[in-house]
Structure 1
Amino acid sequence: MRLVPIENVKPNTVLGKSLYDVDGRILLRAGVVLRENTIAKIKQINILSIYIVDKYSDEEIEDIIKPELRQKAIITIKEAFSNIGRLNGKNAVRDRESDYTWQEQSYFYNIGKMAVSIIDDILNRKDVMLALVDIRSMNNYTYSHCVNVAVISLTLGIAFQLPKKKLEALCIGALIHDIGKSLLPKEILDKQGDLSDEDKEIVKQHPRLGYKYLSSTYNINSLSKLIVLQHHERPDGNGYPDGLDKDNIVDLSNIVSIANIYDNLSTDLPSKRAMFPSDVLEFLMSNAGTMFDYNIVNTFCRIVIPYPKGTIVEISTGETAIVEETVPGFPLRPTLKIIESNRVSRINEKVELIKEISIVITKVKYEFQA
């Protein structure tokens, strides 16, 4: 099974992972054979990439959380954000907890329950390595993004052996880190194309708007509220909204900051395609200590799996290979099997990149006919 941009999917391809609509209902179940008209409909609902099964990638890629739990989490966040924005209008700030409607308090309660479910699901896994298996519609992008950031953040939190109460605060903060965007002017949220400089400055206020909105509710942990406020701050002091330096940013906020940028850079969008996995990690590593906390980046780069098993890649020898095994601690050096080469003797030969240091992965291949 491998993730392929929708424009590279050919008729008669087998769907590897079920597709869901914006309300969490199954549109197409895994295993269905995709016809030309079905592929066209997938494009129409703004799903940019799907998982497929072929003779080279028939192994299951397991999501770090159960698919049904992921969909439930997306719907929970969607209900909270969309209704909070509707109930509060523009830039609303509360003075007292009693000002919150019972509906809003119920949203916070449901988010807390969802955080516990996600944590328990991840902790029940034997190995907590990060290989995201998220297929998202752009119509649900913000909500899917929040769930992904929570999953990435938890994987990091577990690597740092945080106690469960801190994991709960981390997960809730990650799930609602962009809640301030629901309080931005609708004309900016719905704007097509590039934002003006003035609009960008307004968008940069979403951490403070979210924090002020949450400041009086008893249902959200104070650490979770700080994550909402600080997830765009930087250790070098050049972040926003307050330009805090590394000594004034809580560790949980630093974790969510890295998870946030990793998910953004790794995701296909209509305006830009996802960055190459090695480029995302290099971006994080090159900005460790300035944009991101150095120790957290170092740990993150040991637990992420940028090339899941079944990914078809081109290597610097010009050959095509399939990823057979990932190497813990060395995310860019998996074990490969050659499936296309000018030298027939090389077909099916294994290449351990951890040993073959002169060979590197140069790109992921989506269209391949052997």
Structure 2
Amino acid sequence: MRKIGIESLKPGMKVARAVYSSDGYILLNAGVVLKDRFIEQLRLFDIASVYVEDGLLPDVEVEDVISEKTRVEAIKTVKDMLCSIKREVNSGRSLLIRGPKLVATVQNIIKDLLSNKKLMVNLVDIRTMDSYTFGHSVNVCVLAVITGMALNLSEAQLVHLGMGAIMHDVGKVLVPDAILNKPGPLNSEEYRVIQRHSEFGYNILSKQPEISSFSAKVALEHHEKFDGSGYPQGLRGDDIHLYSRIVGIADVYDALTADRVYRKGYLPHEAYELLAGAGGSMFDYDLVKVFLSHIAAYPVGTLVRLNTGEIGVVVDTPKGLTTRPVVRVLFKDGILLKDPYEIKLAESTRVLVSEVLSEEEFIKLKNAS
């Protein structure tokens, strides 16, 4: 199973993981063989990439840290919640968030994560362009809770953290769509408007009887930076609540790796390096270390060239050694091997990933061998 950009999809490829619309409906099920009209349909729904099974890795499954059912239901819940809030705000009615449903959603995520023995984030989420906000909210919740678990937070604390994470961007319902969805850079006035979403979100959540002050604070502080350069209050260091510091890291990582209308997402190893470099300045260094210890720099299915010249695909990442994956070597000296072999970079310390290959480069190698 490998993730392939829509521009590289070809008829005859088999879908390895179901593809959903922004409403949570299945567009293509796992096992479907792609046809031209299916690929065109995916383009119309702004699907940027798809997991396919092309025969090279029939035994490799890219596993999500939560179940597909939990993720789909969570995204639908967030979408319904945010759309309902926006309608109520626009109509001038008193706003009441359906707390129990939101709590149940967060508890389902926590339950899945607590039952997962290997919390390594390998799955690069696939979402439609118009569902970015909803998928992003769920991803940030998942990433924040994983980090909270690594810090040995109690289940009650994880709920507060998860609630703040899943609703961290609720204030954007009060930001005009023209600014939120602008394909180019924001001017100074637009940027000031979008910055206010933190205060908007806090004002919304702090008035909800079933949402704690800890969760509401996440909406206010998730753009604060450890060095004091963030907003809206310019808080520094430990003056930023722990939950807000965690969600701030998760928010940036997921935003970096997401495909947007105006740019392609960073590759996971690029986002990993950017975040690692920001530890100690923009972010709490110790929290960044904990966060990245559960993020595969090279997710399963990533095509890589090693410093030895061998070319292969990542098939596993050992816990705690997120930049030292297990690589199944497929090409040596430019020749496709009949009997691939695996190298554990955690044990072969002189062997490094020197480059991540694109699908186009990989196809050229296959055709040339």
TM-score, structure 1 normalization: 0.92
Deviations 1:63-113 (A, max 9, x none): 1111121111111111111121121139x8xxxxxx845xx332x321111
Distance verdict in 2 for CA 1:10–1:117, change over 3 Å: same
Deviations 1:184-231 (A, max 9, x none): 134423544332221111001101111012222111011100111100
Contact 1:48/1:269 (8 A) holds in 2: no
| Mean Cα deviation higher: 40-49 or 336-345 | 336-345
1:348 aligns with 2:340: yes
Deviations 1:117-142 (A, max 9, x none): 11111111122222234210011110
CA distance in 1, matches of 2:103, 2:343: 45
Aligned to 1:140: 131
Contact 1:149/1:260 (8 A) holds in 2: yes
Amino acid at match of 1:46: D
Contact 2:62/2:123 (8 A) holds in 1: no
Distance verdict in 2 for CA 1:206–1:310, change over 3 Å: same
Deviations 1:284-309 (A, max 9, x none): 12111111111011112222113233
CA distance in 2, matches of 1:191, 1:295: 35
Displacement of 1:343 in angstroms is: 6.6
Matches of residues 230-249 of structure 1 in structure 2 within 5 Å? 230-249=221-240
Aligned to 1:211: 202
CA distance in 1, matches of 2:127, 2:325: 26
Displacement of 1:338 in angstroms is: 1.4
1:66 aligns with 2:67: yes
CA distance in 1, matches of 2:20, 2:120: 25
| Mean Cα deviation higher: 308-317 or 131-140 | 308-317
CA distance in 2, matches of 1:312, 1:189: 34
| Mean Cα deviation higher: 242-251 or 359-368 | 359-368
Amino acid at match of 1:105: I
| Mean Cα deviation higher: 131-140 or 144-153 | 131-140
CA distance in 1, matches of 2:12, 2:266: 28
Contact 1:324/1:337 (8 A) holds in 2: yes
Matches of residues 1-370 of structure 1 in structure 2 within 5 Å? 1-58=1-58, 59-89=60-90, 100-101=94-95, 104-106=96-98, 108-342=99-333, 348-354=340-346, 355-367=348-360, 368-369=362-363, 370=366
Amino acid at match of 1:10: K
CA distance in 2, matches of 1:60, 1:337: 14
Amino acid at match of 2:90: G
Question: What's the Cα RMSD here?
Answer: 2.0
Q: What SS does the corresponding residue of 1:274 show, helix, strand or coil?
A: coil
CA distance in 2, matches of 1:221, 1:9: 46
In percent, how many aligned pairs have the same letter? Answer: 36
Contact 2:15/2:33 (8 A) holds in 1: yes
Number of residues of Structure 1 aligned to a counterpart in Structure 2 = 360
Displacement of 1:344 in angstroms is: 5.6
Amino acid at match of 1:71: V
CA distance in 1, matches of 2:37, 2:334: 39
Displacement of 1:257 in angstroms is: 0.6
| Mean Cα deviation higher: 40-49 or 265-274 | 265-274
CA distance in 1, matches of 2:184, 2:132: 16
Q: After TM superposition, where is structure 1 displaced by more than 6 Å over at least 4 residues in a row? A: none
Amino acid at match of 2:101: N
Q: What SS does the corresponding residue of 2:293 show, helix, strand or coil?
A: helix
Distance verdict in 2 for CA 1:190–1:267, change over 3 Å: closer
CA distance in 1, matches of 2:134, 2:294: 24
Q: Give ranges in structure 1 of 5+ residues lacking alignment.
A: 93-98
| Mean Cα deviation higher: 22-31 or 227-236 | 22-31
Distance verdict in 2 for CA 1:21–1:356, change over 3 Å: same
Distance verdict in 2 for CA 1:276–1:361, change over 3 Å: farther
Distance verdict in 2 for CA 1:190–1:261, change over 3 Å: closer
Q: Give ranges in structure 2 of 5+ residues lacking alignment.
A: none
TM-score, structure 2 normalization: 0.92
Amino acid at match of 1:295: D
Deviations 1:288-336 (A, max 9, x none): 1111111011112222113233332223344320113312222111121
Q: What SS does the corresponding residue of 1:105 show, helix, strand or coil?
A: coil
